[in-house]
A and B are shown apart, each in its own frame.
Chain A
Amino acid sequence: MRLARIAPPLTLLVLVGPLAFGLAGTLLPAFGYLPSLGGTRFSLDAFHLLAGTPGIVRSAATSILAGLVTTLLALLCVVAFAAGHLDSPLFLRMRRLISPLLAVPHAAAAFGFAFLVAPSGLMMRLVSPWLTGLDRPPDVLIVHDPMAITMVAGLVIKEIPFLFLVMMAALPQLRHKETLQLGRCLGYGRVASFIFLLWPQIYAQMRLAVFAVLAYATSVVDVAVILGPQLPPTLPVRLIEWMNDPELQTRYLASAGALLQLVATFAALLGWLGIERIGGLLVSLPSGRGLRFRHDRPARHAALAAMALSALMVFGGIAMLGLWSLAGLWQFPKALPSAFTLDRWSAALPRILDPLVTTLWVAGISTAIAVVLTILCLERELETGRGQGGRSLMLIYLPLIVPQISFMFGLQVLAIAAGVEGTAASLVLAHLVFVLPYVFLSLSDPWRAHDRRYDAIAAGLGMSRTRALMRVRLPMLARAILTAAAVGFAVSVGQYLPTVLIGAGRLTTVTSEAVALAAGGNGRVIGVYGFLQTVLPFLAFAIATAVPNLLFRHRRGLRL
């Protein structure tokens, strides 16, 4: 296929081009070069200013630590759960419960979480006043705590589904059943068999995804604003404040800060490499001594509880968003609103229509492009027999590992200079940078796992590659393709920073509206938009499940 030949370089351009240009657009002002603001000489002034900013070290350190702790905790939960329950009926049920959580946008999950755990939140309401004796919320600091514990908790519950599903994708390529049986025959406990025998191989496959989680957690803006510390805030939040400062000269500071963010994320990655070492030792030492850990029941129960709790928190949070969106007067300690009203919805719906339409077409087009490019790349990979190597995977992960905030700012300046900010094409392109990696990652495994003998049969029957692709491979992979598309759609719906910076306020999506309204701090309005923001990706996943079920309702071989 001729088209397939140009797909890999095109994909590379889409992924790496904006990244490189964006970083250049950040780098130059950081060193004082921004001619239109009078900066024509290179200098280190911005960095001196940055170094002199009160609390900057603490902000950066909080970001790095929060990233490391988030990643470690989320990974531990997932590993412990898989180790204790892999292949049990409970595991499958949990898998079905967890998968949809991937669709919940971070901001919505964070708002929901805050509605649950705040001193005036649902959890306290449920036990007040009958247990606590309180008729007013206790004056304790939970949300926005200076140690960022609440922020880390909010991130962990949202990253668990992602890491869990990445692990699920890695499993089929290993003979895990046989390996586990072998381990137990040798007298190891269930958990120990998993950790000693399977985990090193699984982790090797998950590693880049773990890096992506780490990078995300060190540079996250929306969750940090909603749950993170305030005195001072984490580094990315301060960056956004500087970028928005009416004082022009702060632009240089913001650019220097964006570089510091890059360094901070890099430092976190280095720290993680250290954690990997320690983890490796912790696994190899006891296994080297032949310890069996046969009695692992408490560990297994704890892992199950952690997983269930995290899922419950996200689902409960979404339910809280829904409840708040319908609430009239709702004073502490009432567990339910005193009155319900549809006012918020009827007020919001006419005004949400435009952003909703924008959300749908931006997500639809960027996802469609991503799916087509991914399919062509994978097709090309089959033709050439190349491309499964680590380097190409690294490139695909690059936009997920380089902090968004570090290159989006530069990209915005370039978009303005080129006069393309606020245009449909540039917004789709900006979303594509993040949609494409996720689509590629979700589709490549099923694509590669597809039995190649079907291709041989099709060719033997005289079908051209294009016809075989259209008539055999695509229909057989319809479920995987639709799932990948739903993932891409969800990623696009959740994009905040690219939408605000490249959409230039002219193109707004449900998410950019939600965060703008969140600035208003009105829980009921946040409920409406957060809920809506969650419903869209859920719908996409529901369609991705329902369409193949309907299409192939008489095809047993394609049922799950």
Chain B
Amino acid sequence: MTKTEGLALDGITIRLGGRRLIALDAQVGRGEVLTVMGPSGSGKSTLLAYIGGFLDPAFEAEGSVRIDGSDLTGLAAEDRHAGILFQDPLLFPHLDVAGNIAIAIPQHSGSRRDRRRMAEAALADAGLEGFGDADPDTLSGGQKARVALQRVLMSRPRLLLLDEPFSKLDAHLREQTRQMLFATARQAGLPVVLVTHDEADAAAANGRVHRVGDS
């Protein structure tokens, strides 16, 4: 692994009305996890928004974001391919389950029907065979989380941003989902930035931990 591979965050600072929320330099290799810890309201989620390119204009931010050597900082959010997962699965309620995944598949990847087939296959991979036509609202919490993960993966992201993705799951499901997520990221060689207030998440991530908002 060379130094340019993975995610490089250089001189990132985010301010709101002059108050500094985030200051960070970090290198996250492929398959590695950077955990950002902080209490709620500390502004830690703005880091993910900055990396993803959808930071609210009310914030002032600087610093460069590079992935595998190419600079993302000036790109529009949709050109960064930064997949994001929140604590809620946030499946699109107006589409069926397969539609939720098909909409994520890059547009040049074949016809409507091809994409639908790919979506069904991705569902089968996640142990959700036959759920393609279902209404997402009828799935269980764990099933929804798996669909959300498949949706992100099918969009062929270059990195993963996780915004407290486990905080709403019960203890048993949380452990299971963590393992699945990190394993998938390792397998796909994706750099991951995880934002959480749960020490157990940080421990499971087994990577560098950056703390904000404690001062």
How distant is the Cα of A459 from the Cα of B84 in the complex, in angstroms? 9
Is A58 part of the contact surface with B, judged by Cβ < 8 Å? no
Q: Is the CB of A556 within 8 A of B94?
A: no
Using CB atoms, name the residue of chain B closest to A476.
B94
Is B37 part of the contact surface with A, judged by Cβ < 8 Å? no
* Chain B residues, Cβ within 8 Å of A455: 54
* Chain A residues, Cβ within 8 Å of B86: 453, 456-457
Is B68 part of the contact surface with A, judged by Cβ < 8 Å? no
A-contacting 9-mer, from B3-11, B131-139, B181-189, B201-209: B131-139
Contact of A451 among B56, B84, B90 (CB under 8 A): B90
Is A555 part of the contact surface with B, judged by Cβ < 8 Å? yes
Using CB atoms, name the residue of chain A closest to B161.
A460
Count of chain B residues near A, Cβ 8 A: 38
Is B53 part of the contact surface with A, judged by Cβ < 8 Å? yes
Is B143 part of the contact surface with A, judged by Cβ < 8 Å? no
Q: Is the CB of A461 within 8 A of B52?
A: no
| Given A478-B94, A557-B136, residue A459 in contact with residue B54 (CB < 8 A) | yes
How distant is the Cα of A557 from the Cα of B92 in the complex, in angstroms? 9
Contact of A556 among B92, B103, B137 (CB under 8 A): B137
* A interface bracket (residues with beta carbon within 8 Å of B): 20 to 34
* Chain A residues, Cβ within 8 Å of B104: 461-462
Contact of A456 among B52, B57, B76, B157 (CB under 8 A): B52
> In angstroms, how far is the closest chain A Cβ from the Cβ of B91?
8
Is A558 part of the contact surface with B, judged by Cβ < 8 Å? yes
> In angstroms, how far is the closest chain B Cβ from the Cβ of A371?
18
Name A471-488 residues within 8 Å CB distance of B.
471-472, 475-476, 478
> In angstroms, how far is the closest chain A Cβ from the Cβ of B155?
4
* Chain A residues, Cβ within 8 Å of B53: 459
Q: Is the CB of A459 within 8 A of B137?
A: no
Is B78 part of the contact surface with A, judged by Cβ < 8 Å? yes
* Chain A residues, Cβ within 8 Å of B93: 476, 552, 555-558
| Given A476-B94, A555-B93, residue A457 in contact with residue B84 (CB < 8 A) | yes
Q: Is the CB of A460 within 8 A of B135?
A: no
| Given A453-B90, A555-B137, residue A471 in contact with residue B103 (CB < 8 A) | yes
* Chain B residues, Cβ within 8 Å of A462: 78-79, 81, 104, 106, 155-156
Q: List 9 A-B contacts (CB under 8 A).
A: A454-B90, A459-B76, A460-B81, A463-B78, A476-B92, A552-B94, A556-B137, A556-B138, A557-B91
Name A225-256 residues within 8 Å CB distance of B.
none
Main secondary structure of the interface of B (DSSP, over half): loop
* Chain A residues, Cβ within 8 Å of B80: 459-460
* Chain A residues, Cβ within 8 Å of B155: 460-462
Is B152 part of the contact surface with A, judged by Cβ < 8 Å? yes
Q: Is the CB of A554 within 8 A of B49?
A: no
Is B151 part of the contact surface with A, judged by Cβ < 8 Å? yes
Q: Is the CB of A385 within 8 A of B157?
A: no
* Chain A residues, Cβ within 8 Å of B78: 458-459, 462-465, 467-468
Is B1 part of the contact surface with A, judged by Cβ < 8 Å? no
* Chain B residues, Cβ within 8 Å of A458: 78
State the total of A-B contacts with C-beta under 8 angstroms. 90
* Chain B residues, Cβ within 8 Å of A475: 92, 94
* Chain B residues, Cβ within 8 Å of A454: 90, 92
Name A422-476 residues within 8 Å CB distance of B.
451, 453-465, 467-468, 471-472, 475-476
* Chain A residues, Cβ within 8 Å of B191: none
Name B48-70 residues within 8 Å CB distance of A.
49, 52-54, 56-58
| Given A385-B57, A471-B103, A557-B136, residue A459 in contact with residue B77 (CB < 8 A) | yes
Interface 1/0s, chain A 544-560, versus B by CB < 8 A? 00000000101111100
Is A338 part of the contact surface with B, judged by Cβ < 8 Å? no
> In angstroms, how far is the closest chain A Cβ from the Cβ of B168?
13
> In angstroms, how far is the closest chain B Cβ from the Cβ of A384?
6
> In angstroms, how far is the closest chain B Cβ from the Cβ of A188?
30
How distant is the Cα of A383 from the Cα of B152 in the complex, in angstroms? 24
How distant is the Cα of A383 from the Cα of B103 in the complex, in angstroms? 23
Which of B52, B93, B137, B138 is the most central at the interface, judged by chain A CB atoms within 10 Å of its CB? B93
| Given A556-B135, A556-B138, residue A461 in contact with residue B103 (CB < 8 A) | yes
Interface 1/0s, chain B 140-181, versus A by CB < 8 A? 000000000001100111000101000000000000000000
> In angstroms, how far is the closest chain A Cβ from the Cβ of B190?
12
Name B85-101 residues within 8 Å CB distance of A.
86, 88, 90-94, 96
* Chain A residues, Cβ within 8 Å of B90: 451, 453-454, 457
> In angstroms, how far is the closest chain A Cβ from the Cβ of B98?
13
Using CB atoms, name the residue of chain B closest to A385.
B57
* Chain B residues, Cβ within 8 Å of A555: 93-94, 135, 137
> In angstroms, how far is the closest chain A Cβ from the Cβ of B90?
6
Using CB atoms, name the residue of chain A closest to B163.
A453
The 7 closest A-B pairs by CB, nearest first: A557-B93, A459-B77, A556-B137, A557-B137, A385-B57, A461-B155, A460-B84
Is B192 part of the contact surface with A, judged by Cβ < 8 Å? no
| Given A456-B52, A460-B82, A464-B78, residue A558 in contact with residue B57 (CB < 8 A) | no
* Chain B residues, Cβ within 8 Å of A464: 76, 78
Q: Is the CB of B92 within 8 A of A460?
A: no
Q: Is the CB of A472 within 8 A of B84?
A: no
Is B83 part of the contact surface with A, judged by Cβ < 8 Å? yes
> In angstroms, how far is the closest chain A Cβ from the Cβ of B58?
5
How distant is the Cα of A453 from the Cα of B80 in the complex, in angstroms? 16
Q: Is the CB of A459 within 8 A of B92?
A: no
How distant is the Cα of A119 from the Cα of B83 in the complex, in angstroms? 71
Q: Is the CB of B137 within 8 A of A460?
A: no
Q: Is the CB of B135 within 8 A of A557?
A: yes
* Chain A residues, Cβ within 8 Å of B54: 455-456, 459
* Chain A residues, Cβ within 8 Å of B58: 385
* Chain B residues, Cβ within 8 Å of A460: 52, 77, 80-84, 152, 155, 157, 161
* Chain A residues, Cβ within 8 Å of B56: 385
Q: Is the CB of B92 within 8 A of A472?
A: yes
| Given A384-B57, A475-B94, residue A461 in contact with residue B49 (CB < 8 A) | no
